[in-house]
A and B are shown apart, each in its own frame.
Chain A
Amino acid sequence: MKAVFSSEWLKLRSVTSTYHTIGTAALMVALGAAWTFYVSGLADERGSLRAAAPEEGFLPLVQISLAVLGVLAITNEYATGMIRTSLITVPKRGTLLLAKAGIVGLTTFVAANAILLVTYSASRLIASDRHLGFNGTSFADDLPKLLASALSVTALALVGLGLGAAICSTAGAIVSVVALLFVLPGVVNYLPPPWNTRVATLLLPNLVPQIADERLSTRLGDGFLPPWAALAVLIAYPIVTLTIGYFLLRRRDA
Chain B
Amino acid sequence: MLDAVIELHQLTKHYGGTLAVDDLSFKVEPGHVTGFLGPNGAGKSTTMRLILGLDAPTSGQALVNGRRYATLSRPMHEVGALLDAGAVHGGRSAYNHLLCLARTNDISATRVAEALEQVGLSGVARKRVGGFSLGMKQRLGIAAALLGDPGVLMFDEPVNGLDPDGVRWIRDLMRSLAAEGRTILLSSHLMSEMALTAERIVIIGRGKLIAESTVAELTARYPSLEDAYMALTADSVQYGAAR
Determine whether the beta carbon of A7 is less than 8 Å from that of B87.
no
In the assembled complex, which residues on chain A have CB atoms less than 8 Å from the CB atom of B96?
10, 14
Question: How many residues of chain B are within 8 Å of chain A by beta carbon?
Answer: 35
- Which of B49, B52, B89 makes the CB contact (< 8 A) with A76? B89
Q: Smallest CB–CB gap between B81 and chain A, Å?
A: 6
Say yes or no: is B9 at the interface (Cβ < 8 Å to chain A): no
A80 CA to B90 CA in the complex, in Å? Answer: 8
In the assembled complex, which residues on chain B have CB atoms less than 8 Å from the CB atom of A81?
84, 86-88
Determine whether the beta carbon of A85 is less than 8 Å from that of B88.
yes
Q: Smallest CB–CB gap between B96 and chain A, Å?
A: 4
Determine whether the beta carbon of A84 is less than 8 Å from that of B87.
yes
In the assembled complex, which residues on chain A have CB atoms less than 8 Å from the CB atom of B84?
81, 84
Residue of A77, A82, A90 most packed against chain B (CB within 10 A): A82
Determine whether the beta carbon of A91 is less than 8 Å from that of B81.
no
CB contacts between A and B, total, < 8 Å: 86
Determine whether the beta carbon of A88 is less than 8 Å from that of B103.
no
Say yes or no: is B105 at the interface (Cβ < 8 Å to chain A): yes
A3 CA to B49 CA in the complex, in Å? Answer: 24
A105 CA to B177 CA in the complex, in Å? Answer: 42
In the assembled complex, which residues on chain A have CB atoms less than 8 Å from the CB atom of B56?
253
Q: Smallest CB–CB gap between A103 and chain B, Å?
A: 12
In the assembled complex, which residues on chain B have CB atoms less than 8 Å from the CB atom of A85?
87-88, 101, 144
A sample of 12 more A-B contacts (CB under 8 A), given A91-B70, A92-B70, is A10-B96, A11-B92, A14-B91, A14-B96, A80-B87, A81-B84, A81-B88, A84-B84, A89-B105, A90-B104, A91-B52, A91-B53
Pairs A-B, 3 closest by C-beta atoms: A81-B87, A7-B103, A253-B55
